[in-house]
Amino acid sequence: MPDPQTTPVDAAPVIATWSAPRTTVVTGAAGWLGRALTHRLLADPQRPHLRLLAHSTAEADDLRRFVDQHDAAAQRRIDIIIGDVARADTAARLLYQVGADTDVVHTAGIIHPRRVRQFYEINTNGTRHLAAAARDAGVRRFVHVSSNSPFGTNPDTGDTFRHDEPFHPYLGYGDSKMQGEMAVNEAVAAGLDATIVRPPWFYGPFQPPRQTTFFRMVRNGKFPVIGTGQQRRSMVYVDNLVDGILCAELTPAARGKGYWVADQRAYTVAEIVETVGRALVDEGLSVKPPTTHLPNVAALIAEVGDRVLQRVGVYQQQLHVLGEMGHTIAVDISRTTAEIGYVPKVELYEGMRRSIRWCLDQGLEL
Amino acid sequence: MTVSPAAVPPATVPPAAVLRATAAMDADVLIIGSGAGGATTAAVLAEAGLDVLVVEEGEWVEQGALVPFSLEQMDRQYRAGGVTVALGLPSIAYTEGRCAGGGTEVNSGLYWRPPGDVLQRWREQFRIVDFDPDELLAIADEVERDISVCPAPGGYTEPSEVLRRGADALGWRNGEIPRWMAYPNDQPHGQRQSMTRTYLPRAMRAGARLAVGCRVDRLRCGAGRASSADTTLADGTPGTITFRHVFVCGGAIQSPALLQRSGIRGHIGRTLAVHPTVKLAARFPEALNVPDDVPVHQVKEFAPHLSFGGSASNPGLVALSLLDQWATFQQAVTQWQHISVYYAAITSEGLGRVRSFPRMKDPVVTYGLTLRDRALLRSGLARLALLMLEAGALEVYPSFKGAPSVRNRRDLATMQQAFSATRASVMTVHLCSTVPMGELEGRTGADSFGLVHGCSNIYVNDASLLPTAPGVNPQASVMAFAIRNARHFVASGGRRA
């Protein structure tokens, strides 16, 4: 294991960090966050060996093309392992003989499944298997990507989640992610060196096609603003999130801890819609003024419907998203900055412009 | 921390100076109620040379004569033995002092100035005229000297240290709240101050009369002017008091109820505001219980919408806090010495009402919590339980029906899942805003100096006037506003400015 070395971090206290490991393992590498992370790792010549987990052959092929397109160091060794993260044998294969100079970043997860039980198969059991395998393999650091959902929503629009909060999972996703965190903590108690990062709603390049609906709704003035849109939302630009993950990975003192990773401040929903509209216009797209203002009760009805459906095992994405829109989800990142040196570099307007440009570059219609 | 009788300095008023109310009394200025509002009003008016009669429904009880938070104290110094309830889902239990000095005699004596931003908001939203927040804070300076507001000179009790330790571990803002305590000769155990030790003796030295055992049933009014009050004396016989001016200072429940019984219409009793609180009991490895004192620390990390503090924790109150889930929590009561009780208080977006009905002695009080209030009570209780775990609690017992005991972080999720405000023991000691002051039409019951709208000689001067719940212990605000308004009354010669 390399000795911790001291590196000054921009606008943050001096924090001892590790250098990059010989092997970096990424689960969910073909996903939105996984691609943003892999893209960054490929740009780093100090990462000699990447091992990436893909879910299917088709996903592996796609990931291979992505890697070939972005790999800056031709000498690098890249393994793509195919497997279902929900299965225990996948974790064993993924970490087979990786050695101690290895970090694992676990980004795989499911947020919009067809059935509620998939939350638990992937977010809970998958994490449990992987954390146990990582402990057995004796890796240097295991970074688990969690969520705000184990902590639910803020009880008041002026309330902000502090660094340390009691669990209050929001429905099936939140419960499965909470149990995922608990599985990581159990592995830590059994000797694993792990750190949890908790991003709220993220945005930015490599987004899946469903996210283009978000921009389309704003363009058409149809984004569902609940009440006057004064609910506050923490968001995180995906590259900021990658920064946060790397801080969590490389800070020895982060062992056993969990950190919010978000943009510097929470935005009101009204501000988000206005900023995205402005970013779309500045990227040369026409935007209709927002017209879809729903009463508070609409979000409440959607939330109740979502709860009822999830109780019988059914997940309905639109209901879920609308139900959550009535709430504030705001987090305080000051401890993340102080302890692991995370400083968000991109704020909402710039992040949204980059995000829109990326969509247009991919030929996606907004 | 027991105040031994020997440590109690002699009272500044011999009990003989306190009058028993009689069937026929009169005064230039009648003040109804002798608590934080009435006592300060009496002192200002008497010192200005006015003929002042203060009437009080309860009795004079020497400060320090009864064990704080004891059953005897609840019986003798609280209204209805401390059992009063605002109906709703859940119903909210509240307490009112009913004795000379009112609530100041029996509360924990913690003192918070009204926050500057709250004063600004009140001035703007309720259109309080000729109101300078700085002037009010200057009055607060005087009050703090008069009632000896100070921090504890010695160390803190262990239940207080728990709040500090848990909050520090989480990085949450916390601090000691000063109290109205005197520490003669630097004694470690202070002498609690209250109206019977400060403003009431001052008023009486300036010539004010205090008559106890006198309930005012109604004011006789015509054309917005009151000339006499119908009373019931302690022995049940009726009486009458005639006056030129009357100040109603019965607190946020009794003041609007009296105005309603007197046939006064307007924005009276429609906007009761409280700080709803929920409680938990926490058990520690060491014996820490202090039966007769409350912690002086509060956690203000989430202020104003959420605050944490310590509650009175004598064995009876420990048992009471376990009562909601008695089937599983009862065995804890045998370890009461290891248990202390804490609360989470919220600012509420809900409102209550005080309504008087003919032939009913007491008003009907109702209160409705909003969805946001309920979420905040749940979150507050969970955050407080987390703080207890961080402070080293072995087990936490939240006060709601169906509550699990909390020993670890997983239990916190279970607790939040099980929580329902409707099944919780929600209570409050901070009642206000039933006759809000200001010139905003339709939303205020009295003018910018407490003169009831539509009346020429009926004033309110107590917690009823505060336009909203201030988010902190309100008694400092009550005293400062009462003094401001009383001075204005003197300066304007008792007529409307």
pLDDT for residue B153: 82
The contacts of residue A5 (CB under 8 Å, 6+ apart) are A16, A17, A18, A19
pLDDT, mean of residues B38-62:
96
pLDDT for residue B186: 65
Rounded Cα distance between A184 and A157, Å, is: 31
Whether the pTM exceeds 0.90: the reply is yes
Does residue A5 have a pLDDT over 50?
no
The contacts of residue B239 (CB under 8 Å, 6+ apart) are B21, B22, B23, B24, B25, B214, B230, B231, B232, B233
Q: B46 to chain A nearest CA, in Å?
A: 45
Radius of gyration over every alpha carbon of chain B, rounded to an integer in angstroms:
22
pLDDT for residue B495: 52
The catalytic position among B245, B267, B430, B453 is: B430
User: How far is CA B497 from each of CA B456, B485, B487, B490, rounded to the nearest angstrom?
Assistant: 11, 11, 12, 11
* CB atoms A166 and B382 under 8 Å: yes
DSSP sequence for A7-31: E--TTS--EEEPPPPSEEEEETTTS
Q: B371 to chain A nearest CA, in Å?
A: 9
Q: Smallest Cβ distance to B382: which of A158, A168, A300?
A: A168
> What ipTM, to 2 d.p.?
0.91
User: How far is CA B146 from each of CA A187, B43, B140, B471, rounded to the nearest angstrom?
Assistant: 60, 12, 10, 24
In sequence order, the β-bridge partners of residue A17 are A5
- Strand segments (E) across B300-381: 306-310, 339-346, 351-355, 364-368
Percent of chain B with pLDDT over 70: 95
Q: Which residues of A touch B380 (CB under 8 A)?
A: 155
**Three-class DSSP category at A187:** helix
Rounded Cα distance between A174 and B20, Å, is: 65
Rounded Cα distance between B125 and B113, Å, is: 20
Q: Which residues of B touch A154 (CB under 8 A)?
A: 379
Of A118, A113, A115, A134, give the one whose Cα is nearest residue A53: A134
pLDDT for residue B188: 61
pLDDT for residue A4: 45
Q: Which residues of A touch B375 (CB under 8 A)?
A: 155-156
What structural domains does chain A harbor?
Answer: 5-203+236-263+329-345 (3.40.50.720)
Rounded Cα distance between B318 and A91, Å, is: 50
Tens digit of each residue's pLDDT (9 = 90 or more) over A293-324: 888 888 888 888 888 888 888 888 878 878 88
Does residue B236 have a pLDDT over 90?
yes
Does residue A96 have a pLDDT over 50?
yes
* CB atoms B372 and A155 under 8 Å: yes
pLDDT for residue B464: 98
Q: Which amino acid is at B187?
A: Q
B494 and B486 in contact (C-beta within 8 Å)? Answer: no
Rounded Cα distance between B388 and B221, Å, is: 54
Rounded Cα distance between A91 and A87, Å, is: 7
Beta carbon pairs, A and B, within 8 Å: 59
pLDDT for residue B11: 47
For residue B90, say if its preceding peptide bond is cis, omega within 30 degrees of 0.
Answer: yes
CA end-to-end distance (rounded Å), chain B = 49
Percent of chain B with pLDDT over 90: 83
Report the residue of chain B nearest A335, measured CA to CA.
Answer: B171
Backbone angles phi, psi at B127, to 5 degrees: 50, 60
pLDDT for residue A298: 80
Does residue B221 have a pLDDT over 70?
yes
Does residue B437 have a pLDDT over 80?
yes
Rounded Cα distance between B226 and B223, Å, is: 8
Rounded Cα distance between B88 and B276, Å, is: 12
Does residue A7 have a pLDDT over 50?
no
Tens digit of each residue's pLDDT (9 = 90 or more) over B243-267: 999 999 999 999 999 999 999 999 9
Active site residue B453: no
Rounded Cα distance between A48 and B439, Å, is: 74
